[in-house]
Amino acid sequence: MSKEQPNIDALISTIVEGIEDVKGKEINILDLREIENTVCDYFVICEGTSNTQVNAIVSAIQKKVSKALKDKPWHIEGEDNAEWVLMDYVNVVVHVFQKQIREYYDIESLWGDAKVTVIETNY
């Protein structure tokens, strides 16, 4: 494992905590490290029930990661309509979807070779 793995693990768990803080649903972590020509090492995918909740999830992730790890996304896309917001933390890319948009694009199927970790939520 590379020496940056503990940082990536901390980043992923902090992102998941941010999602859980505002009750984001269907949280999956896709490990892309074994797949050739990927843009990053991990995807964290989740969904919100409305554009308001999608924006709340994005905001919660940013605040949590900034406070805990002093890190911020390199790039964010999609905040205007908040149907699919992509947050690029370089090695970890977060996708925050509304349910129908997630189902339409079905990126988990596009990355079918990835190892998937499903985060169980109790809400």
Task: Give percent above pLDDT 90 in the chain.
Answer: 89
Token pair 């693990």 is found at 9
**Of the given ranges (2-6, 37-41, 78-82, 119-123), which has the lowest mean pLDDT?**
2-6
pLDDT tens per residue across span 40-83: 999 999 999 999 999 999 999 999 999 999 999 999 999 999 99
Domains of the chain in sequence order: 5-113 (3.30.460.10)
Long-range pairs, 34-37, Cβ under 8 A, ≥24: 34/113, 34/114, 34/115, 35/111, 35/113, 35/114
pTM: 0.93
